[in-house]
Structure formats: structure tokens, C-alpha cells
């Protein structure tokens, strides 16, 4: 692709607003939709969620864990969702949180970012426990193919804070080390880079200045997890316009399978986020 | 199952030795086997690797990243390998390095540790970047079903060290925090627990005494990555007998598809490891 993921995402947010809808077919959610916790129930759920957000959400974020519950059959549903979203011109961020050492990350890069893969998406989330540098194969293939990577920095759940705020011998927090490393990757290139970070809206600002990332932000924690549109606005107040992608999942999908109700819920969140981040 | 994973693994190591063979169908390895970097090439590779190690290895460790390269079709090959290994009485540790917040980890637990899943394995590897406590759904389902979890502590690659050795405000290194947390889970139960850790054979001993883990150790980094059987013996010198599972992948699979050669390579590693760890 000619355009980078960073540029495509910014254009999409400019046109539609910052809403990303999490497609999370958990057992609880499928049961509450009353279609059965089965592959068929999941297919129905994925199709309904996508249809309800076309033209409203900049992106969807399927949570790979919930598809993986059904093994290869669940992955087939995920492949179909990804392909349907591509046809409907909705960006897809696969929430896979993959991360291994470099030789193995080459495998994950092929899975999520290679043109030949049935799982190829616009961007994938990655976990830096084995080091940001070990994620290099993901960065390289993303760059080559106009795709992106969002690296976990400061997650929305409380259990991660002790680790993410531990300090290196140089006195830098882990979350700041990851942020700085991703910023360095972006700043080797001109314009908006394609390497983003995941920062929970429930978190305080890191010590590293978020405005210097040079790439997009993926922000969970809004809605069912407790943060509001205003919390997001506060955290990213000085960041470049149209670079913040805000994920909302349960607060929209909890309304159940009725299409009009789903569409209304998505639109309300889009409007709230647009207003708060304007 | 009546027995815990910890007990089953110890019995298996006592009977066969500590060798775990990594089944890593990377592009490079499949191409070197000359069967094509395709789903069919991968099926051939997985079957040959398993057949070559039955009766020699205590376990196999399929690297999920390489199966994921082919999406749902790759997962179908992985499901078949897992099922064939079960039939051949070889333990399976899925190297997936999954990790998310707790609600999502419930999905990963269903995928890898639930009785109904086609991907169910004896144990799965997990990544603690979002906190060891967030992995609770994996620990709970493992305990219920006689399965296990290996949590990443100190990985064999150099890029992860800065993060893994960062210190919390209490002065504890991240790697020691993870070790201590897993030890606490094991020590709530009698006997050998089912919650293990991943520690690269290329690493120095952590500050937390490895002998106090109360569960098994999964040790990569041997062979192609540079560590020897003797390095493993030194690192785990005071740990309980038959609790160390040593992964060897490329140094065995690099010999190519010839069954007798594969079997010989596996046996040489088993004998080396048995001697060093005796």
C-alpha cells in the first residue's frame, strides 16, 4: 500500500471520529445475546457487530482470545470478520497481544501482517515482555505492507501497574521505556508513524510526554471499565489531532442483538467521544 | 483428571528424562526440509517431528506463532498434532505466551485448558506484562482440569533483560516478582504444583531462590541459542529432581526429515541432558 497505517488511521478518524468497537465474543456476551455459545452464535454476533458500526466506527478491534476458544473453527469466523470488515471499509486492529523473541515474532508477523495471510489486518497489538527490540519483525513487515503495530505500554487493569512502573537501572519506568522505544521507531520516519501504543484511559499520564510518540494511541478502559470520554480527553490533551483511537466494547454490545439498538449505542459513543476530543 | 499436571510431568521426566522437543514449523525450517512452506508441508513436519520423539521426549512444545502463519488451516494442523500427541502419550506444552487482562484471559483459558476445546493441552505458556494476578482464570481452569501454566520469568533472549530486571518501588526485580507470585500460588497446595516458570538457560540465577518455586521449570535457550546441558544443570542445581523440562528445537529439527536421523538427534540430546542433570 502507498499510504502508511498511521496516515490511513488519521484520515479515518478525521472522517468518522475516534470510536473503535471491540468485537469480544466472550461466553458471557454470547449467552446474553441468546444465540448460544457456539461457532454459529459467534458468527451471528460478529456479523451483527460489524454491520451495526459501518459508517460510525473508524475501526473494530476483535479480541482474538474469544475467537480462539473454538480453535480453528473460531479462527475461521475471525477470518470472515476481517474479510467482511475490509469489504465494508472498516479498519481492523486484531487484539492479539502477541510477543515472543525475534525468530518467533517473525511467525506472528507473517500471521497478522503478511499479504498472503487470511488473518492479515490493518494493525495488531503486541506485548513487550521479551523486549521492544524483539518485536522488530512485526515492525519491519508492518512498515513494508502499510500496516501497524500497537505495543502495550500502560494497560487499563490495575494488576499490571507494579510491573509496568518498575524502574530500570537508569531510573526509567518500564512503561516509559516502551513508549520511548516506540517513539524512536516512529521518529526515524517523516509524518505520522505506524507504530502506536496501548494506554488505558484509567491510567495517569506517563513520565514520557505522550505528545512525542509520533504515532497513534489505542485507548481501552472506556465504558464498562470505568473511564469516560472526558478522561480520554484529559490524558491525551496535547497530542496531535486525530491520532487517538478509543475502544468501547461491552457498553455497546451489551444492548443485545437488535441492530437498531446497537447502531444507536455506537452512535451515542461516537458523538460523546467526538465532543470530548474535539 | 485425578493427578495434577505437576505430578504427571514429574513422573514423565523420571521415566524418559527432561527433553522437550520444540515443534517450530517456521518458514526457514519448512524450506530446509524441502516439502514447501505450505499447510501440507507443515502437516508433514508436525507428524514427522512427533513420531521421531515418541518414547524419547517427555513433552513436545509446539510454537503457536508458526502454526498461526496459516490462520485457521494452520490451527487445524496444530489441533491434529495435539490430538496425535495425546494418543501417543506425549505431553504437550503449547508455547502461546498468552496474556491479557483477566476477563480476556478467561477466553485464553477456555482455548487452551478447557475440556471441550480442540486446542486443549497439558500446559500453556503465559506472559505477565498485564500482571500475574490477571492470569488467574488460566490458573483456576488449569487447577480444575489437571493442566498447567508456565509463566514467563527470564527469557533466553537478551532484548528482554532491561524490562525483566527493572525494580519495583520495593526493590524487587520484575523477574523475581513473577517468580515469587507463582511460588505463592504453588505453595497454597501440597506437593509439586502445576504452575511453572520459563527461565532461559542463557540467564544468570534470579535473586529469588529457584528451588522454592514449588512447580516445574521450562527451559529454552539450549542448543541453537547457545546454552549447553551443563548450563542448565548449573542454573537449577538445587532444584527438586525431575522438575526441569529442557526445550531443544532447531538443534534437533535442523537434521531434516529423515526419521532415523531425527530420532538419533533427539536421543543424543536426551542422553546429554540426562547425564548433565542426573
Nearest to B6 by CA among B274, B239, B217: B217
pLDDT in tens, B230-260: 999 999 999 999 999 999 999 999 999 999 9
Angle between helices A71-87 and B71-87 (to 10 degrees): 180
pLDDT mean over B182-188 = 93
* Residue A267 C-beta-side C-alpha neighbours within 13 Å: 9
Task: Mark out the alpha helices in chain B (DSSP H runs).
Answer: 5-16, 27-33, 39-53, 64-68, 71-87, 102-113, 136-145, 161-164, 174-187, 229-235, 250-253, 259-277
Can you read off the three cell numbers belonging to residue B200? 532461559
Contact A65 B98 (CB under 8 A): yes
Compare CB distances from A65 to B107, B130, B166 and report the shortest one's residue. Answer: B107
pLDDT in tens, B186-234: 998 766 799 999 999 988 899 999 999 999 999 998 987 889 999 999 9
pLDDT mean over A62-69 = 98
Q: Which helix (H) or strand (E) holds B125?
A: strand B123-126
pLDDT in tens, B54-98: 999 999 999 999 999 999 999 999 999 999 999 999 999 999 999
Pairwise CA distance, residues B184 & A15, whole Å: 51
Pairwise CA distance, residues A276 & B21, whole Å: 53
pLDDT in tens, A132-164: 999 999 999 999 999 999 999 999 899 999 999
Contact A99 B97 (CB under 8 A): yes
Q: Where are the domains of chain A?
A: 5-277
Q: Is A71 left (phi over 0), alpha (psi -120 to 50) or beta?
A: left
B227: β partners: B222
pLDDT surpasses 90 at B34:
yes
ipTM of model = 0.97
Q: Which pairs count as long-range contacts for A265-268, CB under 8 Å and 24+ apart, including other chains?
A: A266/A19, A266/A21, A266/A52, A266/A53, A266/A56, A266/A57, A267/A56
pLDDT in tens, B153-169: 999 899 999 999 999 99
Is A241 considered catalytic here? Answer: no
- Topology classification of domain B5-277: TIM Barrel (3.20.20)
Contact B75 A79 (CB under 8 A): no
Residue with more model confidence, A25 or A202: A25
pLDDT surpasses 80 at A192:
no
Catalytic pick among A8, A10, A61, A97: A97
Compare CB distances from A162 to B118, B155, B168 and report the shortest one's residue. Answer: B168
pTM of the model: 0.97
Pairwise CA distance, residues B19 & B82, whole Å: 18
Pairwise CA distance, residues A141 & A115, whole Å: 10
C-alpha triplet B142, B143, B145: angle, nearest 5°: 65
The reported pLDDT for the residue numbered A190 is 65
Amino acid at each position: 500500500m502507498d499510504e502508511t497505517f498511521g496516515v490511513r488511521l488519521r484520515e479515518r478518524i478525521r472522517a468518522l471520529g475516534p470510536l473503535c468497537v471491540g468485537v469480544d465474543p466472550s461466553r458471557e456476551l454470547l449467552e446474553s445475546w441468546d444465540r448460544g455459545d457456539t461457532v454459529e452464535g459467534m458468527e451471528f454476533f460478529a456479523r451483527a457487530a460489524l454491520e451495526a458500526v459501518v459508517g460510525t466506527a473508524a475501526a473494530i478491534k476483535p479480541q482474538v482470545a474469544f475467537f480462539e476458544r473454538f480453535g480453528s473453527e473460531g479462527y475461521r469466523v475471525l477470518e470472515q470478520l476481517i474479510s467482511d470488515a475490509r469489504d465494508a471499509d472498516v479498519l481492523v486492529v486484531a487484539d492479539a497481544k502477541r510477543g515472543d523473541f525475534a525468530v518467533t515474532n517473525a511467525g506472528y508477523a507473517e500471521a497478522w501482517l503478511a499479504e498472503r495471510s487470511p488473518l492479515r489486518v490493518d494493525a495488531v497489538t503486541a506485548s513487550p515482555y521479551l523486549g521492544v527490540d524483539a518485536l522488530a519483525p512485526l515492525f519491519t513487515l508492518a512498515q513494508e505492507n502499510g500496516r501497524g503495530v500497537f505495543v502495550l505500554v500502560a494497560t487499563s487493569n490495575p494488576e499490571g501497574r507494579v510491573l509496568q512502573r518498575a524502574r530500570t537501572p537508569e531510573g526509567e519506568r518500564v512503561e516509559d521505556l516502551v513508549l520511548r522505544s516506540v517513539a524512536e521507531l516512529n521518529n526515524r520516519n517523516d509524518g505520522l508513524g505506524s507504530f502506536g501504543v496501548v494506554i488505558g484511559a484509567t491510567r495517569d499520564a506517563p513520565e514520557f510526554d505522550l505528545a512525542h510518540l509520533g504515532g497513534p494511541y489505542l485507548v481501552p478502559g472506556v465504558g464498562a471499565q470505568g473511564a469516560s470520554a472526558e478522561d480520554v480527553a484529559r490524558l491525551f490533551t496535547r497530542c496531535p489531532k486525530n491520532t487517538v483511537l478509543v475502544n468501547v466494547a461491552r457498553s455497546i454490545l451489551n444492548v443485545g442483538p437488535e441492530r437498531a439498538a446497537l447502531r444507536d449505542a455506537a452512535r451515542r459513543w461516537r458523538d460523546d467521544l467526538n465532543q470530548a476530543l474535539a
